[in-house]
Amino acid sequence: MGQHEHVRVAVIGSGFGGLGAAVRLRREGITDFVVLERADSVGGTWRDNSYPGCACDVPSHLYSFSFAPNPDWPRTFSGQEHIRAYLEHVTDTFRLRSHIRFGHEVRMMRWDNDALHWEIETTRGTLTADVVVSATGPLSDPRIPDIPGLAGFEAAGGKVFHSARWDHDYDLAGKRVAVIGTGASAIQIVPSIQPRVGRLTLFQRTPAWVMPRMDRPISSAERWLHRRLPLTGKARRGLLWGIRELQVSAFTKRPGELSLVESVAKANMNRAIKDPALRAKLTPSYRIGCKRILLSSDYYPALARPNVDVVASGLAEVRGSVLVAADGTETETDAIIFSTGFRVTDMPIAERVVGADGITLAEAWKDGMESLRGATAAGFPNWMTIIGPNTGLGNSSMILMIESQLNYLADYMRQLDVLGGRVALAARPSAVAAWNRRVQARMERTVWKSGGCDSWYLDANGRNTTLWPGTTGEFRRATRAVDLGEYEVVRVRDKETVR
């Protein structure tokens, strides 16, 4: 191998996870690191998703770093533009721009067993790093289903794009538009574009539970108070956190308690949907919480408008400009917008990581994603992921989980320093297996496994490899420090593993 630039740490991605890792490394006194970003700006999910109506479904004061509070959030639930501006602010406040390499998409990462470092090939060249922190996130690569005839639709002049790759140059005014999917993006897109389009057809495989969105502007007096007395902002954040911690047991231990929440969601629908046939189409048959609970106060009113049709069946085929649903319903359309989610349980980055045994992470995870404490994987020394397997949440802020993983990263780096010399930590397969047995055993009682639905939380084998079956407090305690007993220590001087 030729000589390449070498850094102590390479961080992949500049969303919340990547920027958080960069801040934490600097606070630990580590400045020899780079952030490799494939795009030309920071923001991750909040840069890529710019569709009409894009906003967060977690309250603003909880959806921000604890070390970078924002007293000036304009709304209780912030829009995409405000969250992206916040991430730009964090980048500048913590002087991260000098570390970021824009336009550096990672093509491949290979672990060198002799040198005990990672060789990282990017679109702009190659470098090496002692440690890799993968912060690409699970909501970064759109999933578009393979629909027969879709290519012919585009060839004939039809417009097709995914909600995460919104074409702002395409004018929807007066067009016949089909929205495919009824997830978190679709329920924001539909009411945003409904007044402009000529006709909107929503293809719904499975109806969602939709709770009212209690959104409002944050008053200037509130913002002034949070600026002048930062403790009030902390108290607000703490209250939001505490309420959500108390809700966890209903999701993870006693799903039957969610029936009250279902009644609120039904009332939200009944207020806007008066047509019994449409109401029947929109009423889920599974326990609320089994799929992601959605928040909207304008989704149902939009569906009740005269220029909107709901097809209670998935898109099966495209014939010219006609979309054919699985139930045979045919719809003529000018544009197709896929709101069909992301590659969550088969993240493309896993195909680009080659570990100590010469196999990719995707191959190691062929039977399902597994990691140690949501961070490290067996066979991949000195490699850590932010928002790894079983770190997702069903009711609270992912920033809380990210900060817990940053604690783990910080202690990981400290352990490497204490061990000294050229050294690597490799997660023991037995430790990874034991952690995942405990997680999956707890998962059996959750609404995500027992609620009677098929969701993107589950992988091809029906295992929930995405969500954490506990409180954020539990996860923080579990990731407070690295247990060296769960790792093998590998040194370069004798190329032996300390067991």
**pLDDT tens column, 342-370:** 999 889 999 999 999 999 999 999 999 99
Determine the pLDDT at residue 27. Answer: 96
Separation of alpha carbons 425 and 419, rounded Å: 10
E strand map for 244-379: 294-295, 308-311, 315-319, 322-325, 330-332, 335-338, 353-354
> Mean pLDDT of all residues in the chain?
96
User: Bridge partners of 330?
Assistant: 324
14: Cβ–Cβ under 8 A, 6 or more apart, which residues?
22, 35, 37, 39, 42, 43, 44, 91, 100, 135
**pLDDT tens column, 435-489:** 999 999 999 999 999 999 999 999 999 999 999 999 999 999 999 999 999 999 9
**pLDDT tens column, 119-146:** 999 999 999 999 999 999 998 899 999 9
Separation of alpha carbons 411 and 484, rounded Å: 11
Determine the pLDDT at residue 492. Answer: 76
**pLDDT tens column, 173-214:** 999 999 999 999 999 999 999 999 999 999 999 999 999 999
Helix, strand, coil percentages for the chain (3-state, nearest 5): 35, 20, 45
Separation of alpha carbons 59 and 397, rounded Å: 8
Neighbour-count burial of 212, counting CB atoms closer than 10 A to its CB (0-12 exposed, 13-18 middle, 19+ buried)? middle
**pLDDT tens column, 274-330:** 999 999 999 999 999 999 999 999 999 999 999 999 999 999 999 999 999 999 999
Nearest to 134 by CA among 353, 325, 398, 414: 353
Cβ–Cβ contacts within 10 Å for residue 260, how many? 10
Determine the pLDDT at residue 4. Answer: 83
Neighbour-count burial of 171, counting CB atoms closer than 10 A to its CB (0-12 exposed, 13-18 middle, 19+ buried)? exposed
Question: Would you state the structure tokens that stand for residue 423, as one six-digit string?
Answer: 């050294």
Whether 498 has a pLDDT exceeding 80, the answer reads no
Amino acid letter, residue 475: F
Determine the pLDDT at residue 493. Answer: 57
pLDDT confidence of 36, banded at 50, 70, 90?
very high
Angle CA 265–268–271, to nearest 5: 150
**pLDDT tens column, 245-276:** 999 999 999 999 999 999 999 999 999 999 99
Separation of alpha carbons 32 and 130, rounded Å: 10
**pLDDT tens column, 377-431:** 999 999 999 999 999 998 999 999 999 999 999 999 999 999 999 999 999 999 9
Neighbour-count burial of 196, counting CB atoms closer than 10 A to its CB (0-12 exposed, 13-18 middle, 19+ buried)? middle
- For 106, the enclosing helix (H) or strand (E) is strand 106-112
Determine the pLDDT at residue 1. Answer: 42
